[in-house]
Structure 1
Amino acid sequence: MAGPRAEQEPAATGGWAPTRALGRAVLVTGLLLVAAVVLGRIDLIVLAAPFALGTAYALRRRPAAPPEVWVAADEGHLIEGGELTGSVTIGNPDTVDYEVAVVRTRVSPWLRIDRVGFAGGAAAGGRAVADRPFVTSVPATSAVDLELTGTALRWGRHPVGPAGARVAVAGGLLVSRAVITEPVRVRVYPKTEPFEAVEAMPRAAGLVGAHHSRRPGEGGELAGVRIFAPGDRLRRIDWRVSLRARQLHVAATLSDRDAEVVVLLDVLAEAGRSGGVSGAASVLDTTVRAAAAIAEHYLHRGDRVSLLEYGPTARRLRPATGRRQYLTVLEWLLDVHVEPSRHEPYDLVFGPQLLSADALVVVLTPLLDERSAQMLARLARSGRFVVAVDTLPADLTAPKDRGWAEVAYRLWRLDRDTMIAQLREHGVPVVGWAGAGSLDQVLRDVARLATAPRVGGR
């Protein structure tokens, strides 16, 4: 995986402390010299000489600067299931070699580190390899990298680090205090599930785009042939019809228009347990991955896409088009998290003139809160084109607790099915997310309702 690397500034705090080995050497030397003086024995001085000379020789060159530690990780377009590479570097800014350096780092549980090893050395593998201490030596005025290789299991901003190191010099007589550096956040984008919606938008609102509207104008859809009028372009003249009718006729077309798609994420409740990219999906996993897929599809078609959160923070992303908007959508989705609220966030989310009347609103909701159903009903009554996507996991099992837990779960399921039926009666289509073609039938029904004549009351 190629790309820029996010690096943490090197941490260099603390100093050097004597080890127990140095204390024992000084103690033994002192005891032998005191005993030699008290007892008047020269042989004890001879026994103390190796301890004194060895300690003095080992301490002849002492480091002045503490070691440096920093963490780096590749910041390419990393997607769930992609390969992650990072490194923990320990630097030696001094002129004294580090004889033993012990490095240890922590990694997010959603980043599975498969191989760890120093650059140019053997790599270790197995479970939780990143949480084990690794030992190496660092020459003077150089650095050694502990390379991390693994797999990103889930979307989000995951930390690599903090990392720490301790260094021993002077034959193990001096040891540095623990040097710890701050973690680096790795951005893992959600995996885009296959999604394709071939149906037309309910009502195209822009000036140009990929959808055929019912208004005449410049476009690629033929609407018929009519008599030439002032202002018509010459290239629109239909010569066959004109020669037959002996009067100029032009080919009339329908204008191509873009549409605005609002993806609304319900973040009031969470259910299920996330198993990563290859495991079970929670409500939040399905919501984020479906939002990324829907945004990618419509942005690729040239439509304008905006995102909203139905929750207490009411985060929003303004509508725009193009690849830059898609990258902005992915960054925005990394910060999505469930945030319960005691208050009704409808007025906070749908302020005045924040939602276009012609926009298609795709609501990703697990329908675990009655306020979510009320929000869908209010949007439908306001004349918006609303599609509800059920993000509750289909394999959600009943709790295994004793008592009435299973019966209560069944009653809750029946109540939720009744709620969905009532929403459909109010004109809100509800469909479960199933990847490709999930919204085709629903968009077809919404487009039919949008083009049907409306009956006004007397």
Structure 2
Amino acid sequence: MTEPTVSSPTEPEPAAGWAPTPALGRAVLLAGLLLVAGVLLGRVDLIVLAAPFALGTAYALRRRPTALPQVWITSGDDGPLVEGGDATAAVSVGNPDTVDYDLVVLRTRVSPWLRILRAGFARDEPSADSSANSGESAAAGGTGRSAADRPFVTSVPVASAVDLELVGRALRWGRHPIGPAGARVATAGGLLVSRAVIVEPVRVRVYPRTEPFEAVEAMPRAAGLVGAHHSRRPGEGGELAGVRVFAPGDRLRRIDWRVSLRARQLHVAATLSDRDAEVVVLLDVLAEAGRSGGVDGAASVLDTTVRATAAIAEHYLHRGDRVSLLEYGPAARRLRPAAGRRQYLTVLEWLLDIHVTASSHEPYDQVFGPQLLSSDALVVVLTPLLDERSAQMLARLARAGRFVVAVDTLPTDLASPKDRGWAEVAYRLWRLDREVMIGQLREHGVPVVRWAGAGSLDQVLRDVARLATAPRVGGR
């Protein structure tokens, strides 16, 4: 015997996320009251008056939703996004159900470092109401707040999706979230509403904008076999070292025929070998000062550190040198030395995860190990010199014979505290104490220079290269 077709107990489960709206309760209550009153009082007009409410409610509920809406976030940036560039994203709402979504309320959060200037809906098949919504949302971008900081309303037909397009500008480097985003849907003529469907945020990578930097001075001591820097060692290169008598093993193309004919003996042009160098950028992340204003505003210590690191790495990697990064902080993260464009992209990715972490401990002995700092490497330390441990670290590197250059990243426009009492006096004393500390570092042979973009390190590198090539006097 064939069993009668009934709805299985598992069928109502997909609709568990849907709930009746107050409109459904009012319609059922009004229709019920009119029908009961018409029957009790024997009035046909009350029954006729209740019929539209009952029939309308039944007609609206003839097809009930069985699936919740789908929400997802996509980033529209195919290439790398840099500070100050245009950022685009989309928050999409899909309708996998067999009934139309009469009303969709969508809301999303966006990082304050992604200033959304224009937000609006775009459909696969344009319609009049979608273009109107787009115009309203575009006008919202003219206000002082973000254009995405409000709810957006639209409708979604069956088996389609609607995209809320977000267009703005990236104000600061880092990994900035778009989302979380949530949507609620009303259907069946507004009688049923879904629970809020929330999707996790998507993080947009914004690379730091590299400030112009060009160091034209030679490296203190080149370490590799090939590269762009001229060493003091004779070999194959482009720098002329002089003319000498031909010896076995010299190449014929090196013969200087003018000198050979005049001296009646073969002479060759001697050159200096071109060698690459290793640059270690040490980032002090023990303290932060100043307030970041984004790409168009003031720069904090961390902003200056990250942008200067990206500029220094881009310069030396473009010249064929090897660059490595090292954190001076509790995490002590390290990026191994390498060369090429791939290393530059790795440097940018590495910088996105940097953050200031205060610690009272001293777990930094691994920074001074020979496996991390080569004796021939140029160590560029980016530090605000706000912690005494930073000055001690610089002094230890100098005593160990490293070629150290300290770059001061403290903002020049750092304001003094406005509190009454001794706050301003304490600030002035701290400034004086910091100047004394910088003077002591210079006496220990550590040059300290303020980061100023192009040419910031030229004079310092010239002095360091001169010290590296100077003869060392050994005591007996």
With normalisation by structure 1, the TM-score equals 0.96
> Could you say what secondary structure the match of 2:446 adopts?
coil
> Could you say what secondary structure the match of 1:171 adopts?
coil
Rounded Cα–Cα distance in structure 2 between residues aligned with 1:56 and 1:294: 71
What amino acid maps onto 1:97 in structure 2?
A: D
Residue of structure 1 in register with 2:18 after alignment: 16
Rounded Cα–Cα distance in structure 2 between residues aligned with 1:366 and 1:26: 70
Q: Is residue 289 of structure 1 aligned with residue 303 of structure 2?
A: no
Residue of structure 1 in register with 2:110 after alignment: 107
1:249-278 deviation line (CA, Å, top 9, x unaligned): 111100000000000000000000000000
Residue of structure 1 in register with 2:41 after alignment: 39
Residue of structure 2 in register with 1:276 after alignment: 294
Residue of structure 2 in register with 1:408 after alignment: 426
Would the aligned equivalents of 1:239 and 1:249 in 2 still touch at CA under 8 Å?
yes
Residue of structure 1 in register with 2:207 after alignment: 189
**1:214 CA displacement:** 0.4
1:76-118 deviation line (CA, Å, top 9, x unaligned): 2100000000000000011211111111000001000000011
Aligned length: 447
Rounded Cα–Cα distance in structure 2 between residues aligned with 1:351 and 1:251: 41
**1:351 CA displacement:** 2.9
Larger mean CA deviation between 198-207 and 119-128 belongs to 119-128
**1:343 CA displacement:** 1.3
Rounded Cα–Cα distance in structure 2 between residues aligned with 1:325 and 1:362: 18
**1:39 CA displacement:** 2.2
Structure 1 regions of 5+ residues with no counterpart? Answer: 1-11
What amino acid maps onto 1:454 in structure 2?
A: R
**1:352 CA displacement:** 4.0
Q: How does 1:26-425 map to 2 (within 5 A)?
A: 26-75=28-77, 76-119=79-122, 121=131, 122-123=134-135, 124=137, 125=141, 126=143, 127-425=145-443
Rounded Cα–Cα distance in structure 1 between residues aligned with 2:76 and 2:425: 50
Rounded Cα–Cα distance in structure 1 between residues aligned with 2:16 and 2:472: 76
**1:140 CA displacement:** 0.7
Rounded Cα–Cα distance in structure 1 between residues aligned with 2:110 and 2:369: 41
Would the aligned equivalents of 2:243 and 2:268 in 1 still touch at CA under 8 Å?
yes
Rounded Cα–Cα distance in structure 1 between residues aligned with 2:86 and 2:170: 6
1:320-363 deviation line (CA, Å, top 9, x unaligned): 00000000000000001001111123303233422100000000
Rounded Cα–Cα distance in structure 2 between residues aligned with 1:223 and 1:44: 112
Would the aligned equivalents of 2:277 and 2:322 in 1 still touch at CA under 8 Å?
yes
1:339-394 deviation line (CA, Å, top 9, x unaligned): 11111233032334221000000000000000000000000000000000000000
Structure 2 regions of 5+ residues with no counterpart? Answer: 1-13
**1:13 CA displacement:** 10
Would the aligned equivalents of 1:203 and 1:259 in 2 still touch at CA under 8 Å?
yes
Rounded Cα–Cα distance in structure 2 between residues aligned with 1:431 and 1:13: 67
Would the aligned equivalents of 2:284 and 2:381 in 1 still touch at CA under 8 Å?
yes
Rounded Cα–Cα distance in structure 2 between residues aligned with 1:262 and 1:346: 16
**1:239 CA displacement:** 1.3
Rounded Cα–Cα distance in structure 2 between residues aligned with 1:166 and 1:353: 57
1:102-144 deviation line (CA, Å, top 9, x unaligned): 1100000100000001115224223222120011111110000
Rounded Cα–Cα distance in structure 1 between residues aligned with 2:38 and 2:154: 41
**1:14 CA displacement:** 6.5
> Could you say what secondary structure the match of 1:318 adopts?
strand
Would the aligned equivalents of 2:231 and 2:272 in 1 still touch at CA under 8 Å?
yes
Would the aligned equivalents of 1:78 and 1:187 in 2 still touch at CA under 8 Å?
yes
Q: CA RMSD in A?
A: 1.2
Larger mean CA deviation between 326-335 and 346-355 belongs to 346-355
What amino acid maps onto 2:101 in structure 1?
A: Y
Alpha-carbon spacing, 1:373–1:174, altered in 2? closer, same or farther (3 Å)? same
With normalisation by structure 2, the TM-score equals 0.92
Would the aligned equivalents of 1:118 and 1:147 in 2 still touch at CA under 8 Å?
yes
Rounded Cα–Cα distance in structure 2 between residues aligned with 1:95 and 1:312: 55
> Could you say what secondary structure the match of 2:102 adopts?
strand
Rounded Cα–Cα distance in structure 2 between residues aligned with 1:376 and 1:437: 22
Rounded Cα–Cα distance in structure 1 between residues aligned with 2:402 and 2:363: 18
Residue of structure 1 in register with 2:9 after alignment: none
Rounded Cα–Cα distance in structure 1 between residues aligned with 2:359 and 2:253: 60
Rounded Cα–Cα distance in structure 1 between residues aligned with 2:304 and 2:106: 38
> Could you say what secondary structure the match of 2:82 adopts?
coil
Would the aligned equivalents of 1:13 and 1:179 in 2 still touch at CA under 8 Å?
no
**1:454 CA displacement:** 0.4
Would the aligned equivalents of 1:118 and 1:144 in 2 still touch at CA under 8 Å?
yes
What amino acid maps onto 1:102 in structure 2?
A: V
Alpha-carbon spacing, 1:190–1:320, altered in 2? closer, same or farther (3 Å)? same
Rounded Cα–Cα distance in structure 2 between residues aligned with 1:456 and 1:15: 83
Alpha-carbon spacing, 1:14–1:365, altered in 2? closer, same or farther (3 Å)? farther
Q: Is residue 447 of structure 1 aligned with residue 465 of structure 2?
A: yes
> Could you say what secondary structure the match of 1:129 adopts?
coil
1:204-234 deviation line (CA, Å, top 9, x unaligned): 1100000000000000001111111111111
> Could you say what secondary structure the match of 1:223 adopts?
strand
